[in-house]
Each structure stands twice: as structure tokens, then as C-alpha cells.
Amino acid sequence: MTFAVVALIIFSFLSAFRVLIGPTLWDRLLGLNLVTSKLIIIIILMACIRMESFLLDMALVYALLSFIGIIFISIYIQRKGRF
């Protein structure tokens, strides 16, 4: 179980590296999406280890917030900065 959390932290650092080096803007967005989904899994596993279910509420809210953020950034780029 602890092994799973450590492995996921390493993977999320590797996907964050894609955000840094990505040649185009959409590569960075893709990396952001990957980091977000890994963070949600880490929160679920931590709640499973410590048996505290209020952490799951945080996972729920974080999923919804990241959805709104990424959708708005990609629509903003698609319309070239005009709304």
C-alpha cells in the first residue's frame, strides 16, 4: 500500500516534467490533466490507509475544480484569447 503511494508520487513528478518541457501548449495541458488524475488517486489511497473518509470529500471537490479549470483554459486557447 505504501509502495503504491510512493510509486504514484514518482509518476506524478514525471508527468509534471512533461508540463515543463512540452514543446506545444497542448502538451502542457495534457501533462496537467495527468498530474490531476494521479493526485486524486493518491488522495483516495491515503484515505484508505488512514481510514478517514473526509479526505474523499476533498477528492470529489478537487476533481470538479480541475475539470472546470482545464476546460476553461482550453476554450480560452481555442478562441485565441477572445471571449
Partner 1 sequence: MRELISNIIIFIGISFIALGIIGIYRFTNFYSRALVASKVDTVGYITIVIGVMIRHGFSYFTMKVFFILLITLIINPLITHSIVRSAFISGYKLRKE
Annotate each residue in 9-28 with x if it binds partner 1 (CB under 8 A) or - if it does not, as one string: --x--xx--x-----x-xx-
Question: Minimal distance in Å, beta carbon 61 to partner 1?
Answer: 10
Could you say whether residue 64 binds partner 1 (CB under 8 A)?
yes
Q: Around 70, how many Cα atoms within 13 Å sit in the side-chain half-sphere?
A: 18
Could you say whether residue 4 binds partner 1 (CB under 8 A)?
yes
Residue 49 in contact with residue 26, Cβ under 8 Å?
no
d(CA 31, CA 2): 24
Could you say whether residue 71 binds partner 1 (CB under 8 A)?
yes
